[in-house]
Amino acid sequence: MGVYLSLAGLIGGGVLIAIFYRQHKTKRIRTLRATPPSDSWQPILDENFNMVQRLAVDQQGQLFGAMQVFLDHVKFEGCGGQEITEEIKVTIAAQACLLLVGREHKVYPRLKTILVYPHTYKSGASGMFGGDNGQGARLGESWGCGVVVLSWNSVEGGARNLKDGHNVTMHEFAHQLDQEDGSADGAPILASRSAYSAWAHVLSKDYTQLCKKTKRGKRDVIDNYGATNPAEFFAVSTETFFEKPKQLQDNHPDLFDELQSYYKVNPLEWTD
């Protein structure tokens, strides 16, 4: 009897510790979300990612709060001689967290580490999703184990050019959203079970359309890399949604509506 009581006490103590940890973590996240941005962020964002200036005041507040949480729990590591600076951290965090604005969403709960190379790099990793420059050199990758790999010059170039439809940071973090349910299949966690039917119908239709165009050598507002597989289609469509919203709405209205319903923002409001 004494053994069982002791075991019950240990289990009960473990439960209490787990509850305390969750409460502490929740309180810390609330505090971080309410923490104003550092004064040093503004010049970095003005120079590297001025899309932030176009957001409504409440959206900027959501973005900065998510960035505080992101920068608190994500570890940055430089690779290939790359030094990690505040500019790198803030520029990446802003683009990654833009995908969370408007939604009550945890800040990439599976993400642990961001590896940053100075330029494009070769990768032998498997089980990941990413993009290359057409010559086998990687711009970025998203691993299901909670790692994102990025090329800094590609990150910086994508952040500064907001109208070309290419943004490697948004691309890789769209993969992270897709992978939160444990699989990279082009279907992230949606708000309700009924939402999956419409999502599957629309994205399958537009993905098939892009594949047919790509085979015929024709171009679309969605980059042909999106024809690789459904996961890449979602990631490339995300880039297009945020950087070429008018063209996407004109050419793929149903897809635009699905992405707007998912991301809970309308990038048309941010365009000139």
Write out pLDDT tens, residues 193-249.
999 999 999 999 999 999 999 999 999 999 999 999 999 999 999 999 999 999 999
Give me the pLDDT at residue 21, please. 46
Give me the pLDDT at residue 19, please. 56
74 sits in which H/E element: none
144-188 tens-digit pLDDT: 889 999 999 999 999 999 889 999 999 999 999 999 998 899 999
Mean pLDDT throughout 118-132?
Answer: 66
Domains and CATH numbers, the chain: 35-270 (3.40.390.10)
> 140: pLDDT confidence band, cut at 50, 70 and 90?
very high
The first and second tokens of residue 26, run together, are: 């929740």
Contact between 182 and 146 (Cβ < 8 Å): no
Residue whose token pair is 């993969």: 175
Q: Which of 10-19, 58-67, 113-122, 260-269 is the least confident region? A: 10-19
Instruction: Specify the higher pLDDT residue, 30 or 203.
Output: 203
Give me the pLDDT at residue 208, please. 98
Contact between 240 and 248 (Cβ < 8 Å): yes
What CA–CA distance (Å, rounded) separates 201 from 191?
Answer: 16
Give me the pLDDT at residue 25, please. 62
What CA–CA distance (Å, rounded) separates 170 from 242?
Answer: 9
Give me the pLDDT at residue 183, please. 87
* Number of H-type helices and E-type strands within the chain: 10, 5
Q: What is the pTM of this model?
A: 0.87
Residue whose token pair is 């190379």: 117
